[in-house]
Amino acid sequence: MYRMQQNMRWFGPHDTVKLQDIRESGVSGIVTALHEIPVGEVWPVAAIEERQEHIREAGMEWTVVESLPVHEDIKRRGGNYQTWIANYQQSIKNLAACGIHVVTYNFMPVLDWLRTHHQHKNPDGTRTLLYHPLAFAFFDVFLLKRPGAATGYSASQLEAAQAYGKGLTASEKEALFRNILLGLPGSTEDFTREQVLDLLKAYSDIDDAQLRKNLIAFLKEVSPVAQKVHVGLAIHPDDPPFSVMGLPRVVSTGADLAEIFKAVPEKANGLCYCTGSLGARASNDLLEILSKHGDRIHFLHLRNVKREEGQVFRESEHLEGDNPMAEIVENIVGLMQRRKISLPMRPDHGFLHSLEGAGKHYAGYSLIGRLKGLAELRGLELGIAHQLMKN
Catalytic residue positions?
Answer: 236, 274, 301, 348-349, 365
Q: Determine the Cα angle at 157 with ends 153 and 159, to 5°.
A: 120
Q: Are 256 and 281 in contact (CB under 8 A)?
A: no
d(CA 112, CA 238): 8
CA–CA separation, 365 and 374 (whole Å): 13
Q: Do 302 and 347 contact (CB within 8 A), yes or no?
A: yes
Radius of gyration of the chain (CA): 20
177: amino acid identity, one letter: F
- Expressed in angstroms, the distance from the first to the final Cα of the chain is 13
Measure the CA–CA gap between 43 and 33, rounded to whole angstroms.
Answer: 10
